[in-house]
Amino acid sequence: MRLIAMVLGCVLAANGMAQQALWGGNDIVSPQVNDDRTVTFRLYAPNAERVEVEGDFLSPVTASTPVGETESPGKAVMTKNKDGVWEYTTSPLASELYSYTFLADGLRMTDPSNVYQLRDVASISNIFIVGGQPGDIYSVQDVPHGNLAKVWYPSPTMNMTRRMTVYTPAGYEDSERSYPVLYLLHGAGGDENSWSELGRAAQIMDNLIAQGKAEPMIVVMTNGNASRQAAPGEAPNSMSKPALFVPGMMDGSFEKAFADVMDYVEKHYRTLDDKAHRAIAGLSMGGFHAMQISALYPDRFDYVGLFSAAIHSNNKSDVYSGFERNLARQFCEPPLLYWIGIGRSDFLYKDNTAYREKLDGLGYRYEYTETEGGHIWRNWRIYLTAFAQRLFSPNRH
Amino acid sequence: MRLIAMVLGCVLAANGMAQQALWGGNDIVSPQVNDDRTVTFRLYAPNAERVEVEGDFLSPVTASTPVGETESPGKAVMTKNKDGVWEYTTSPLASELYSYTFLADGLRMTDPSNVYQLRDVASISNIFIVGGQPGDIYSVQDVPHGNLAKVWYPSPTMNMTRRMTVYTPAGYEDSERSYPVLYLLHGAGGDENSWSELGRAAQIMDNLIAQGKAEPMIVVMTNGNASRQAAPGEAPNSMSKPALFVPGMMDGSFEKAFADVMDYVEKHYRTLDDKAHRAIAGLSMGGFHAMQISALYPDRFDYVGLFSAAIHSNNKSDVYSGFERNLARQFCEPPLLYWIGIGRSDFLYKDNTAYREKLDGLGYRYEYTETEGGHIWRNWRIYLTAFAQRLFSPNRH
């Protein structure tokens, strides 16, 4: 590295570059995933009195976690070495995508040695992946990759242009065939970037498709805040702090405007435009949206996924007041797969139990998956991985 | 906000959500761009002894900066109020996109109240924009937006698939017309994300096109590290610390493999495939690439932009040893615009002066723009804004 730097330093310039804006970073390696699956964190902070690492790998959720109890990441105190570098090494970790931050004398900060970060609503954390399963599914592998586009589309219903993320599978650009579509919806505080960033949707789809475990499909990731054009920073005058709650959330307008999304996608992409080739799934608020939309357009979706879904809205929208009737219509000719997944300690667990009892009472068939943990992205990545493998092929369901 | 939160809190769930993963952030507003164009920074750090803000707005580069002198952002000491919040307010700032970090007792950290961040090589800084000119050009405005796609393409020359970013202008998806193409290349330490993120290329193009100041065009932003498939984190096994120097940089292979890029783009997009409708520009190493590529393919580009270009490589590639001959061939039928821009304190200033003298000696026409400051993104955004307005229309040059 020193040699390369010297040679190229000569190539580019004899002087000055080192002090100019191109340089960055430091010599600390953090995090370091070790061969024994332990992970070492390091922070150079010679003046700090106490440094902690806070991460979701420090509080493994166990089956004994009482239902409804909240989760928060655990903390570990780091140790300062003689060079002023604080270190902490975990016990061996199960394969997963983990997130963490540091606390230096109580001040929360991201790891300056790790540029891999994700924003969740208004918080930014560092991430790392421990390989194996499911970590490898969330990682970029040496397989054909789909493309990911940020697409502006007109929404006549909302009288605005809006932004969505569209994944087209590897091969799409060089084929003439038409593809099925999965509409994948985010939760409160999220946006059209959430599934591709926090949810690793492109990596999951690339890897499942490459392994023959999922059909090649287009994945459309909308912005579920119908009053907003786009993610924070991507719409005019939107570079303020992202909020969990957005005006107009869950008031029926996103569901009504969803026809605009389908119209645009089916006009601009090579799609298979029948019920057997459309799926819709969402997490939390997006699960609620998927539940409502699949009922509001009862002949459109053969595959429905409710991931840790919100079940109720207090809003008096005619969409929601018509839900019972819409649901009945949807199940006249029932979807091939109505998939419900939730974590045992999710605060929406009881609501989901009640919803399943209602479906049971009506004789509507669904599949149910229960996992450890709460209302967290770890579960939503697991659910997407499971759900995507069930779509669009007779031998998958 | 409290009312909305209460109402929607009821909507989504009666319990627990507040403590689960959906929440994030704090109540501090930072940065706050005030009406008088001053900017206030805030950090809640009750235990800190000293907090500073370091940013590029604190060391305005003046005409008196000696040529070759390096720039580093200035620092200002913040003041702690009784609530443990450190504050600093700048003097009124000129319109610009600025970046900054905090130093808490010497420990560098990003602003936890500002999710808008950019990575430059291995460093992450917060950003904010002060409106006016040029800040408004760098901001998302209420104008039609182009789409931005991450596209994988085959590079037979490099025997791998590689990733690029493609901007298609507003209207592309709903027209049948063909468009001119600008190939826009990054510098050392950069990748296919640099121009759309640090360079605000999509915002600049959206705004210039909407104002009628630039022709609608496709902008192709490649990865100029020919040995790499994609940006750090986007290729297999690449989640390590991004480096300024990458094996195989400026060894002639990117220039040779550039035919693969043009082949893919012209096959997969509706492009105007003649010299009059192709432009190539790049910054630093990318300026060197633009210089070499436009000469290596002498009949392809009527518009060439060298932004703070590197001029020399020590590599013995036949591409580089053939440059004089290639350049002569390129200027047999000279490009309509050969545009050179550099900052007065750039460490490559002298090399660019020598290159201009060489062009002068050969009688090759070019245009030259000199700005304040050094080898920094502020200048590259300015150069893109200027260059893009000169492209693809007889009345623009």
Q: Is B312 left (phi over 0), alpha (psi -120 to 50) or beta?
A: beta
- Of B339, B212, B348, B7, the closest CA to residue A248 belongs to B7
Q: Which of A129, A315, A351 sits opposite B239 (nearest CB)?
A: A129
Per-residue confidence (pLDDT) for residue A393, from 0 to 100: 84
> What integer pLDDT is reported at residue B112 of this predicted model?
96
Q: What mean pLDDT is predicted for residues B243-247?
A: 92
Residue A128's closest chain B neighbor by CA? B239
What's the confidence (pLDDT) of residue B395?
A: 66
Q: What is the pLDDT of residues B169-224, one digit of tens each?
A: 999 999 999 999 999 999 999 999 999 999 999 999 999 999 999 999 999 999 99
Mutate to test the interface with A, among B20, B317, B355, B378 (most CBs of A within 10 A): B20
The CA radius of gyration of chain A, in Å to the nearest whole number, is 23
pTM reported for the whole predicted model = 0.93
Chain A residues close to B46, C-beta within 8 Å: 106
Facing B113 at nearest CB: one of A140, A241, A250: A241
Collect all residues of chain A within an 8 Å Cβ-Cβ radius of residue B236: 139-142
pLDDT digits (tens, 9 = 90+) for A230-251: 999 999 999 999 999 999 899 9
Q: Which residue of A1, A2, A4, A8 is the best one to mutate when testing the B interface, meaning the one whose CB has the most B CBs within 10 A? A: A8
Nearest to B11 among A112, A250, A376 (CB): A250
B27 burial level (CB within 10 Å; 0-12, 13-18, 19+): exposed
Pairwise CB contact (< 8 Å): A120 & B188: no
Contact B188 A315 (CB under 8 A): no
Pick from B194, B139, B179: which is nearest to B307 by CA? Answer: B194
Predicted local confidence at residue B182, as pLDDT: 98
pLDDT for residue B86: 98
Do A110 and A95 meet the contact criterion of CB atoms below 8 Å apart? no
Q: Which of B285, B232, B281 is nearest to B254 (CA)?
A: B285
Q: Is A8's pLDDT higher than 70?
A: no
pLDDT single digits (tens) A71-103: 568 999 999 999 999 999 999 999 999 999 999
What pLDDT is attached to residue A73? 80
Closest CA to B233 of B184, B192, B283, B197: B192
- Residue A218 one-letter amino acid: I
Q: What is the pLDDT of residue A10?
A: 39
Digit-coded pLDDT (tens) for A159-189? 999 999 999 999 999 999 999 999 999 999 9
Query: Is the pLDDT reported for residue A26 higher than 70?
Result: no
Asked if the Cβ–Cβ distance from B120 to A22 is below 8 Å, we say: yes
- Each residue's pLDDT tens digit, B40-96: 999 999 999 999 999 999 974 444 444 444 456 899 999 999 999 999 999 999 999
State how far residue B395 is from chain A, nearest Cα, in angstroms. Answer: 30
Q: What is the pLDDT of residue B29?
A: 96
Provide φ and ψ at A128, rounded to 5°: -155, 160
**Maximum pairwise Cα distance, chain B:** 78
Paired tokens of A283: 């997490």
CA distance B274 to chain A (A): 23
The CA distance from B194 to B214, in Å, is 21
**Chain B contacts of A163, Cβ < 8 Å?**
145
Residue B69, Cβ density class (10 Å: 0-12 exposed, 13-18 middle, ≥19 buried)? middle
The average confidence (pLDDT) of chain A is: 91
pLDDT tens-digit map of B155-183: 999 999 999 999 999 999 999 999 999 99
SS3 B366: coil
Nearest CA in chain A to B48: A105
pLDDT of residue A7: 38
Of A188, A234, A239, the CB nearest to B22: A188
Q: Do the Cβ atoms of B129 and A239 come within 8 Å?
A: yes
Nearest CA in chain A to B283: A22
Distance CA A124, CA A117 (A): 6
Neighbours of B307 (CB within 10 A): 29
Torsion of CA A311, A317, A321, A323, to 10 degrees: -50
* Contact call for residues B104 and A104 (beta carbons, < 8 A): yes
Does A25 contact B123 at a Cβ distance shorter than 8 Å? yes
pLDDT, tens digit, for every residue of B293-318?
999 999 999 999 999 999 999 999 99
Buried b (16+ CB within 10 A) or exposed e, A91-100: eebebbbbbb
Per-residue pLDDT band for B26 (boundaries 50, 70, 90) equals low
Q: What pLDDT, on a 0 to 100 scale, did the predictor assign at position B11? A: 41
Spell out which residues of chain A touch residue B189, defining contact as CB-CB under 8 Å.
22-24
List, for residues A308-362, the tens digit of each pLDDT value. 999 999 999 999 999 999 999 999 999 999 999 999 999 999 999 999 999 999 9
> Could you report the predicted ipTM of this complex, rounded to two decimals?
0.92
pLDDT in the model for residue B4: 38
pLDDT at B70: 47
Q: A98 - beta bridge partners?
A: A128
